[in-house]
Amino acid sequence: MPEAYIVEAVRTAGGKRGGRLAGVHPVDLAAHSLDAVMARSGLDAKAVDDVVMGCVSQGGEQAMQVGRNAVLAAKRLGEGVPAVTIDRQCGSSQQAIQFAAQAVMSGTQDVVIASGVESMSRVPMGSTAMFHMKEGLGNYKSPGLEENYPGIQWSQFAGAEMIAQKHGFSKDDLDRFALHSHEKAARATKDGAFEDEIVPVEVDTPEGEQMHTVDEGIRFDATLEGIQSVKLLSPEGKITAASSSQICDGSSAVLVVSERALKEHGLTPLARIHNLTVTAGDPVIMLEEPLFATDRALERAGMTIGDIDLYEVNEAFAPVPLAWLKHTGADPEKLNVNGGAIALGHPLGASGTKLMATLIHALKARGKKYGLQTMCEGGGVANVTIVEAL
């Protein structure tokens, strides 16, 4: 079977809700990452077969096919480049990578940009569903869904609490994990670990125009006492905002090509895509599926968790990566080595390609070979992608 290669992988630094990226239109924010992979690769727009863009909140300024609009807003693409926008919830742009790789591996396309964007400042989480409810268009749950799952209040927050309870994690466990995420992200930033993956974005500030290059959500002075002081999201629960991913604005992009494209355009690959897996399970606990998706991915790849050098497991809520570690027996020292979404932010539709950028550059910096990325996703779905650094 033909191989799929990753040639470039970039992301913007995350912006806090209402922060430095809030003034950047999501179409322009997405276009920024698209232009970056084009500039770094040196490719002509005519070489690009498609753009696949992940975006979760496809309403407001992210409506009307944000992927195509981003292509039209980009400086290095143009109207001759097609695009599509997809939604697999938090795994949207990780699925974009998988769709891009499948297109290349099937031989139908040679150059595809997988990408993602989310401006959570402008299009808040759940805004589309809330609009329909406010406009009197009925509950977002269908009669069929209600029949199959009577009385269920679909909630990722509830699912995260279920995972903490099921796997026996205390609030202290979650708080300490959150602190460690900030510590790793702060250290990575100070050491310049993100310099190769972050593309600067020009932003307007009270001090004038500046380049946004540092993830805005990192608490460089985080303490356990400070994290422990944050109030619980539920009086009976264990999770707080401090042990949850941060609302975030951002975009990211990954350039996926065939071996034929490598030769034709003289490109140097960063990584080869080794395995693509997606599975689905319990939609109520919802966020536990990365555990079982990882089992399947490793089995299909003929690998064990010990063969993997680094893992990126999205920190939607602290119990998710903790349960993943417990289930797989993975080495905690190899997990989210530069921090995760608790510190760096979780720009929903952009997180899949964002994590891939971080994973590939972390493998390269350490001279390591295999990386595994997985995300929990609304509805009980999970993607796993295994890459081999080259």
Catalogue the active-site residues.
Answer: 90, 346, 376
Q: Alpha-carbon distance 159 to 178, whole Å?
A: 18
Q: Alpha-carbon distance 377 to 192, whole Å?
A: 30
Q: Alpha-carbon distance 52 to 253, whole Å?
A: 10
Q: Measured between alpha carbons, how far is residue 54 from residues 37, 93, 271 in Å?
A: 16, 4, 21
What does the angle CA 97 – CA 98 – CA 99 come to, to the nearest 5 degrees?
95
Are 275 and 46 in contact by the 8 Å Cβ rule? The answer is no
Joined together, the tokens standing for residue 249 give 């604005």
**Half-sphere exposure (Cβ direction) of 233: Cα atoms closer than 13 Å:** 16
